[in-house]
């Protein structure tokens, strides 16, 4: 999702006296002397030398340098940090030693010499007060919008903080188009009108490459309407978001509105749920069926109470169970957020493509995505789904193997034009063998 490369420390950045001892062709004992912090150096030069040698090509030297940094008393390290001017030193300390001393992250984030990419990395990995600290630095995220993205996708960032950052970003006119699903994110928190404020003129959202042209092949006899062939282009997003907002406003006046009419899940409960789902996304599931059923019912109940903004963030950051439920949500910005989740797998896409309970636009989006439709299982699922545009289904049908073609030709659960086309393909293939 985020690529936040480390800030390098160049050999030429070292003091001259250290260069002689730390050079790659210097005897290993001389480099180990520096790595052991055995030379009298100022705190700034000591940290610079140790962080440089922590990436030495010799693993023994690198290991000793890392151990020397870890062995520094916290008081010594904390007193030295304000005087550190090299961005590479601050970046190395943040990435390699911040988890052991969380106050280190806060001190580095407040250091004006820290690189923006370092602050974004802390925003993506940190927790607690440092996230609030980073969120309050508008100058930083105006200069480096990836900080906003890092905060949003960090499950440790509370929803209130996310809302504040997004509101400030929109007010400042920051381009957030690099964030997957950013249009849905902004619209869910601030309304459709705010999307235009963070969309540069003439640009499009950062979305997957989508083709509305069917794969090449011989013409078919299927008549396809314009709506079926074009789907829902990204250019129409503003109109669709406005329609969703109108639907939401209408729902807010009804008695059975659920979360959209109220405050949704409270901050602490949503925070805990988001953390749990984010952790579950990386863990192997070993639950028994009864436990899964019970947890699913409980999750349904919690999702039903969420606001649109909470659902969008849960769709982007949650686990597979959350996405399986939210893909069936009636709000476009919610199910579109599921399709833009960085955690989405090919297996899930195949499941969505097969489902007849999802919105027809979900099927069209999957069918027109070149990456997703590289999978044979996705193509087969789409061919079997009546919601798949006819011209797309018949084009995918031509690449099916004989076994699947025969199964489709005798199925009563798929559209008649697919059955007829499957029978025609079987006939053509058999004639080709005889000839």
Residue 124's CB: how many other CB atoms inside 10 A? 21
Point out the domain boundary residue: 129, 148, 167.
Answer: 148
Total number of domains constituting the chain: 2
Q: Tell me: the pLDDT tens digits for 398-434?
A: 899 999 999 988 888 888 888 898 899 988 888 877 6
Point out the domain boundary residue: 113, 148, 183.
Answer: 148
Q: Which residues contact 293 (CB under 8 A, 6 or more apart)?
A: none
**Six-digit token string for 117:** 């990419």
- Is 279 within a domain? no
Distance of CA 391 to the CA centre of its chain: 32
- pLDDT band at 201; cut points 50, 70, 90: low
Token pair 């009419």 in the structure block, residue: 261
- Is 392 within a domain? yes
- pLDDT band at 134; cut points 50, 70, 90: very high
pLDDT for residue 39: 85
- Is 300 within a domain? no
**Six-digit token string for 375:** 């999978």
- Is 205 within a domain? no
User: Which residues constitute the domain of residue 407?
Assistant: 366-435
Please report which residue ranges of 327-398 form alpha helices under DSSP H. Answer: 332-339, 346-354, 360-367, 376-383, 390-397
pLDDT for residue 282: 61
- Is 267 within a domain? no
Question: Global pTM?
Answer: 0.73
**Six-digit token string for 215:** 């794969």
- Is 2 within a domain? yes
Point out the domain boundary residue: 148, 174, 195.
Answer: 148
Helix, strand, coil percent values for the chain (each to nearest 5):
65, 0, 35
Q: How far apart are CA 346 and CA 354, in angstroms?
A: 12
pLDDT for residue 295: 62
pLDDT for residue 199: 66
pLDDT at 337 over 60: yes
Question: 53 — phi, psi (to 5°)?
Answer: -75, -15
Do 186 and 166 form a contact (C-beta atoms < 8 A)? yes
pLDDT for residue 281: 65
Residue 306's CB: how many other CB atoms inside 10 A? 23
Q: Tell me which of 281 and 98 has the higher pLDDT.
A: 98
- Is 390 within a domain? yes
Q: What is the mean pLDDT of residues 321-325?
A: 92
**Six-digit token string for 395:** 């084009």
Number of residues assigned to the chain: 435
Q: Which of 15-24, 293-302, 347-356 has the lowest mean pLDDT?
A: 293-302
- Is 177 within a domain? no
- pLDDT band at 348; cut points 50, 70, 90: very high
């Amino acid at each position: 999702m985020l690529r936040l490369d480390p800030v390098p420390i160049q050999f030429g950045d070292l003091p001259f006296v250290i260069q002689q001892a730390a050079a790659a062709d210097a005897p290993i004992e001389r480099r180990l002397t520096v790595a052991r912090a055995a030379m009298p150096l100022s705190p700034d030069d000591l940290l610079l030398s140790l962080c440089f040698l922590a990436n030495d090509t010799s693993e023994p030297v690198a290991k000793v340098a890392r151990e020397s940094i870890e062995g520094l008393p916290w008081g010594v390290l904390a007193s030295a940090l304000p005087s550190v001017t090299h961005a590479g030193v601050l970046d190395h300390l943040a990435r390699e030693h911040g988890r052991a001393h969380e106050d280190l992250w806060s001190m580095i984030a407040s250091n004006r010499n820290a690189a923006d990419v370092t602050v974004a990395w802390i925003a993506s990995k940190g927790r607690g007060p440092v996230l609030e600290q980073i969120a309050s630095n508008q100058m930083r995220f105006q200069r480096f919008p990836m900080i906003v993205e890092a905060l949003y996708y960090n499950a440790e960032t509370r929803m209130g903080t996310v809302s504040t950052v997004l509101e400030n970003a929109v007010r400042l006119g920051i381009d957030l188009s690099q964030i997957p699903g950013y249009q849905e994110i902004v619209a869910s928190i601030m309304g459709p009108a705010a999307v235009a404020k963070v969309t540069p003129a003439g640009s499009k959202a950062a979305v997957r490459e989508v083709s509305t042209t069917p794969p090449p092949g011989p013409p078919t006899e299927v008549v396809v309407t314009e709506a079926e062939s074009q789907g829902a282009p990204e250019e129409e997003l503003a109109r669709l978001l406005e329609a969703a907002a109108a639907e939401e406003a209408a729902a807010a006046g009804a008695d059975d509105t659920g979360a959209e009419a109220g405050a949704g899940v409270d901050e602490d409960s949503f925070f805990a749920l988001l953390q749990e789902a984010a952790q579950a996304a990386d863990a192997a599931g070993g639950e028994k069926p009864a436990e899964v059923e019970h947890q699913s019912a409980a999750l349904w109940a919690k999702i039903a109470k969420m606001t649109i903004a909470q659902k969008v963030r849960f769709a982007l950051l949650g686990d597979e169970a959350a996405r399986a439920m939210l893909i069936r949500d009636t709000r476009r910005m919610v199910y579109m957020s599921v399709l833009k989740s960085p955690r989405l797998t090919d297996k899930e896409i195949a499941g969505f493509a097969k489902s007849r309970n999802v919105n027809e636009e979900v099927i069209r989006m999957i069918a027109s995505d070149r990456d997703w439709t590289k999978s044979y299982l996705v193509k087969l699922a789409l061919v079997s789904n009546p919601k798949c545009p006819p011209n797309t289904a018949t084009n995918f049908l031509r690449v099916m193997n004989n076994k699947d073609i025969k199964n489709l030709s005798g199925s009563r659960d798929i559209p008649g034009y697919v059955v007829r086309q499957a029978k025609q393909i079987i006939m053509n293939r058999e004639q080709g063998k005889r000839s």
